[in-house]
Amino acid sequence: MTEASPKRYVILAEEFSHDPHYAKTARGVMRYRRESVVAMLDSKRAGETDDGVPVVGSVQDALPYNPDTALVGVVTQGGHFPGDWQELLKTCVSHGLDLENGLHVRLHDIPGLPELAAQHGVELRDLREPPPDLSTATGENLEVDATIVLTVGSDCAIGKMTATCELDLEARKRGLKSVFVPTGQTGIAIAGWGLSVDAVVSDFLAGAAERLVVEGGKRGDLLWVEGQGAILHPIYSGVTVGLMH
């Protein structure tokens, strides 16, 4: 779990950059890691600007802004790539761009993409890929000398991550050793570390939360743990309860 390294993102948001729900990752990175974004790709809005960021219509149009990484900026139900995005991803790789992806479908599972990445010497990073050594909780988190706050929501996409980031920013302004603890793909893209807990085997969810708290405790003594799912939603409440426990 390393800190965010310097990047120059072109955010891939084709057909969804205007949508605050489907473009959740794009919105989050634009708001909390704006300095790393050099362009946004959405052919429906080519020629516009978004918070000062140029919106381009193709990968080729983004290249003059010198991006080094293409970030998948959309979040879809079920985590599948929309439309013909696989070709878009291959175009990015063909132009020498690393890829970062937060959807459930892994970049390494897209036919031909790993081979193309190897050919062009670029890196494929799946932000939702859990570490292979996760296991059940051990109780190590009980030894962390920190105040731990978890955001919990009654529904999905209502601002749990935003509230967590804002609380962390305000605490830092007040001189506190505050840490934003990312538990989802957008938070990981913002902070450069974390675990996407909704991709973890359910038996190991408590172990993942424990690892995040232990790592956060090494970074500060006020931990804002990003909430996931929805406490009242039957589809998504499992991950919420797992974090709470």
pTM of the model: 0.92
Instruction: Note the pLDDT of residue 1.
Output: 53
Name the residue among 198, 207, 25 with its Cα closest to residue 128.
198
pLDDT exceeds cutoff 80 at 217: yes
Instruction: Note the pLDDT of residue 80.
Output: 83
Q: What is the CA radius of gyration of the chain?
A: 18
Token code pair at residue 230: 């929805």
Instruction: Note the pLDDT of residue 99.
Output: 98
Instruction: Note the pLDDT of residue 236.
Output: 86
What is the per-residue burial (b if ≥16 Cβ within 10 Å, else e) of 18-52?
eeeebbbbbbbbbebbeebbbbbbbeebeeeebee
Indicate the pLDDT class of residue 138, thresholds 50, 70 and 90: very high
pLDDT exceeds cutoff 90 at 6: no
Indicate the pLDDT class of residue 17, thresholds 50, 70 and 90: very high
> 230 with 163: CB under 8 angstroms?
no
Q: Which structural domains are found in the chain, ordered by start?
A: 9-126 (3.40.50.720), 140-244 (3.40.50.300)
Token code pair at residue 140: 């190590």
Which are the contacts of 151, defined by CB distance < 8 A and separation ≥ 6? 160, 161, 163, 164, 224, 225, 226, 227
Q: Of 4 and 47, which is predicted with more confidence?
A: 47
Query: pLDDT tens for residues 45-103?
Result: 999 999 999 999 999 999 999 999 999 999 887 778 877 899 999 999 999 999 999 99
Which are the contacts of 55, defined by CB distance < 8 A and separation ≥ 6? 17, 39, 40, 41, 42, 45, 46, 47, 48, 49
